[in-house]
Structure 1
Amino acid sequence: MPALTREHTAVAAGSRGPGLSDKPDGGYDAGTPAAGLVAWTAALGHDRFDVVGHDIGTWTGYALAAGHPERAGRPAVAKRRSPASRRPRRSPARPGCSPTRP
């Protein structure tokens, strides 16, 4: 991010739910946070912006670009994986952890 700020205004938004963020009962679909980002960037004074989605943020980035093409300039996604492609792994930090599927 620091390199981007030499020529751009760069802001980062986290996903709802993990870590110390709020844990609302709903809004975990891709469209809800995309709409929230559109409102947030408008409040920051940006009518049009480029968006980069990383990891699970790719879902929000795609929803933002597809649902708000008039706002998203150049969308980019990195490290896309769907939940269906993730296989549970045994973790040495959690002895006895067993996968839920083979």
Structure 2
Amino acid sequence: MNTITPTRVVRDGETLVSSEERFELEFFSPGNSKNRYVGIWYMRITIQTVVWVANSDNPLTNSSGTLRIGDDGNLILMNTSLGGVVWSLNQSKVDNSIA
């Protein structure tokens, strides 16, 4: 899968791969940690090199996470077992209208 849409979520255990297969988004646990994070890393490097982590300050404690696009267009990480938002891009829409 290489796209996420409002109707297509990414669940823990699934990956999102860029169309040119340079980057991969996936849920992961670093080292021996049981905490779960959503991260992006380079695919063509032997040693996993994380370039971005969504929820570095608020890890999931189980594999019930889903990443989706909200009704407002923001990227949202949900904990489906608790029903809450773990992380959100939380960007407001830009008004490009000219007065």
The bucket for the TM-score relative to the shorter chain is under 0.3
The structure with more strand, counted as a fraction of residues: 2
TM-score norm. by structure 1 comes to: 0.26
- Where relative contact order (Cα < 8 A, 6+ residues apart) is larger, the structure is 2
Q: Which has the larger radius of gyration?
A: 1
The structure with more helix, counted as a fraction of residues: 1
TM-score norm. by structure 2 comes to: 0.26
